[in-house]
Structure 1
């Protein structure tokens, strides 16, 4: 009688685990490339949506080209991560590539119709995100600690690299017929053979997908995303009802996809709380520098874009190094360092708001380095605080939390910057008006970073806890 040898981290036969690990390392570059193509589309259309709307005679509704795909992104991040716990990564990825290609062709062929463009962007966004979710889940499930940290850093770096490319293209993109942007993701067709060959075809045999629970949770995520894009009081009532229904279902349901043990996992919830605070003002980084460049220093958008490109290139570099940093100093010191950099960058910007745009660019680099550095230890903590078979759900909800937090932060930022009384008084010699308004915004961002540091110091024991590896 033969004995089955299992690994200490996955609980599956060692030979199968080794095979999945090897295949995963070969598949991740292709998945990363597909994710990059999808993210580039988000950045590109965030820049040109007004041009598209103007050219199609829909100027007043142009923002829908950006906001509706953003809502879709918030929902599918959670959905895909969760489904990765049930469905084969290979099948998930092929579905995503298919949607990316269909969306691209629809957008190019239907470029004369505004609503076809909006629908195409929604399909493109949904398709491109699959590769990102599968990348993260596979890295969590099949790689060892050092490899996982490295690939999380690379994933984070690619996101910021695509942002840098998108911002740099801001001054050039309007000279190109925007419909040809839709054809860029078709490059993904060349990657299908590598996906088919290397992506593990694993799944949970015989386990029922909790369609009802996932649908209710997706509705909650959708309403949250819609509310912060198109606020309406009645949505809060609907959200309250949906949350109540979901809570009862989790506590009373026979086999909900989020079990009682999952939602009462203090260690995992501590990581989610830290993630929420660290990324609260992530979306506000770009618009505040546009305001400063335009209203304080009177410099052109192209000059601002060059400075912001430098900022995001720094973020890309930090992302590339974050895996090595994590392996060298560990999660807690890295999170503390992240928060300290965010505090220094934001408080420094508040104090030196009148010291020149290049000074503020350097401080922006410090701030964005802090945000970027927090990603790898926070996502790495998911693998420590959850059983392996729940990593997909953990990552999906983490993605949802990160996007929701940044959306709320953007709403807070917009509200404060639109309130003239917010700039009626400056601190440390800053003059009232636009200078004080921007400076005070940086003080708020710095205080939020202080709160992030406090949360890390208070909950670091929970966040470093190791979850049992058997199914729960």
Structure 2
């Protein structure tokens, strides 16, 4: 018996190490590719701020002063369209192909703008292509994070992605003088730094497409046109554009209902968890675009501050938002989505209501309160996108991200329109409570009360939709039990 056992042991074949699964391979690649994608996206975000500072200089130097704002407006519209489009396409086209397309467009737009700097229209076209190319890296970053990374890592990367927007805004304020000190055409060359990351992106971006799914070209095209019309309407506010948007929306709805294989199926639309998260996002980000304009109004009209002084205070707010964005992922991992969203909404209520009450107590006080409400707006991004990605099958995460981006744009733009109408209304300027004087002070105070009311609605919705907010993918660690 002993001899047989020894022989068996000597003839046994060592067990081969377990081969990594496709998910594990893509997860490793994703971790190596994400820093490069984030760098490219950061460069694109910085350029948005830079061209917003110099667009008038471009118009003046090319004798197109009256059309100069197009340098800022049209690329912004393009950005609103491609954010939705790229996320959706990531369910059908591999991240690697998407990234290579984006890098190509980024380089083409940069060269076109630089060498065509003597023509306003070449500069405009180059800038639009450049924006479209840079955003690919951002969309691929988010979709790769939610598709391939474990839950705890996913939350961290979503928070970092959100922080980049505010970081770019903060740098834009400080670098304003430097940016305007040299010829604007050299800004087009800044994204060429991204070429250094091409080898890393080629090696490590996963080359995985939708399994057997065909691209619904007609449906996605209708969706892109719908998103584009929404963005154009909020930029130019023409009633004919609103009519065209409504017609396109109806056609899109008919296509989704009647097409044999639409890119958004009926099960997607019946997903209660995703729809609940979508409604939460609409409410949370309703006044996202209005936070800075109301701050400028207070500084100029109530405290007589110059725009440069206001920008310095605003930089503090942006820095706070950047820090909160970075730590929002760890916050979600520690406290869970429900508590993080509840805390975010309460910060918004406190920040807005506090500003309404203390509107005349000094700009420093209002800056502190602005930090509180911007912290709430920033912190909610990670749990919302995290919850949405878990509410959907992994194969539909790209579409989910695309629709979330579209909803964010619609909600924020609609909120800005509501803000503009209310703050200039006679009713809001007539008088306020707690001794607030009529006029600009009353208008801003009443506006803050309205913002606080919307934020309070967000608190209620978070509580109502608690079970949808905490939904988890199969196989992931359950979220901490919410007792609030």
TM tier, smaller: over 0.9
Question: 1:171 Cα shift?
Answer: 4.2
- After superposition, residues 70-219 of structure 1 pair within 5 angstroms as 70-219=76-225
Question: 1:178 Cα shift?
Answer: 1.8
Deviations 1:268-313 (A, max 9, x none): 0111111111111111122222222122111222211111111111
Residue matched to 1:6: none
The counterpart of 1:318, out of the listed 320, 324, 327, is 324
Judged with a 3 Å threshold, the aligned counterparts in structure 2 of structure 1 residues 172 and 346 are, in CA distance, closer, same or farther, namely farther
Deviations 1:319-361 (A, max 9, x none): 1111111010001110000000011111111111111111111
Residue matched to 1:243: 249
State how far apart, in whole Å, the 2-side matches of 1:386 and 1:14 are: 25
State how far apart, in whole Å, the 2-side matches of 1:361 and 1:56 are: 39
SS of match in other structure, 1:53: helix
State how far apart, in whole Å, the 1-side matches of 2:69 and 2:426 are: 25
Deviations 1:38-72 (A, max 9, x none): 11111112222223223322222222111111111
Q: Compare 130-139 and 399-408 and name the one that shifted more.
A: 399-408
**TM-score, structure 2 as length reference:** 0.91
Asked if 2 retains the 8 angstrom alpha-carbon contact of 1:170 and 1:305, the reply is no
- After superposition, residues 221-236 of structure 1 pair within 5 angstroms as 221-236=227-242
- After superposition, residues 31-70 of structure 1 pair within 5 angstroms as 31-70=37-76
Question: 1:236 Cα shift?
Answer: 2.6
**Gap runs ≥5 in structure 1:** 1-12
The counterpart of 1:15, out of the listed 21, 25, 38, is 21
Question: 1:205 Cα shift?
Answer: 4.7
Residue 349 in 1 paired to residue 355 in 2?
yes
Asked if 2 retains the 8 angstrom alpha-carbon contact of 1:74 and 1:404, the reply is no
Asked if 1 retains the 8 angstrom alpha-carbon contact of 2:116 and 2:122, the reply is yes
Residue matched to 2:9: none
Deviations 1:407-446 (A, max 9, x none): 1112222223343553121221111111112212211211
State how far apart, in whole Å, the 2-side matches of 1:411 and 1:176 are: 36
Count residues with an aligned counterpart. 457
Asked if 1 retains the 8 angstrom alpha-carbon contact of 2:424 and 2:443, the reply is no
State how far apart, in whole Å, the 1-side matches of 2:175 and 2:412 are: 24
Larger Rg: 2
Asked if 1 retains the 8 angstrom alpha-carbon contact of 2:234 and 2:413, the reply is yes
State how far apart, in whole Å, the 2-side matches of 1:47 and 1:415 are: 26
Question: 1:125 Cα shift?
Answer: 1.1
Q: Compare 413-422 and 42-51 and name the one that shifted more.
A: 413-422
Judged with a 3 Å threshold, the aligned counterparts in structure 2 of structure 1 residues 422 and 56 are, in CA distance, closer, same or farther, namely farther
Deviations 1:110-140 (A, max 9, x none): 2222222221221111111100110011001
SS of match in other structure, 1:203: coil
SS of match in other structure, 2:410: helix
Residue matched to 1:332: 338
Residue matched to 1:380: 386
Judged with a 3 Å threshold, the aligned counterparts in structure 2 of structure 1 residues 412 and 58 are, in CA distance, closer, same or farther, namely farther
Q: Compare 110-119 and 145-154 and name the one that shifted more.
A: 110-119
State how far apart, in whole Å, the 1-side matches of 2:416 and 2:117 are: 30
State how far apart, in whole Å, the 2-side matches of 1:22 and 1:467 are: 20
State how far apart, in whole Å, the 2-side matches of 1:215 and 1:151 are: 30
State how far apart, in whole Å, the 2-side matches of 1:399 and 1:105 are: 29
**TM-score, structure 1 as length reference:** 0.93
State how far apart, in whole Å, the 1-side matches of 2:424 and 2:124 are: 28
Residue matched to 1:445: 451
Deviations 1:84-122 (A, max 9, x none): 011111110111111111111111222222222221221
State how far apart, in whole Å, the 2-side matches of 1:14 and 1:250 are: 38
The counterpart of 2:376, out of the listed 370, 375, 379, is 370
Deviations 1:155-187 (A, max 9, x none): 111221111111222344333322221111111
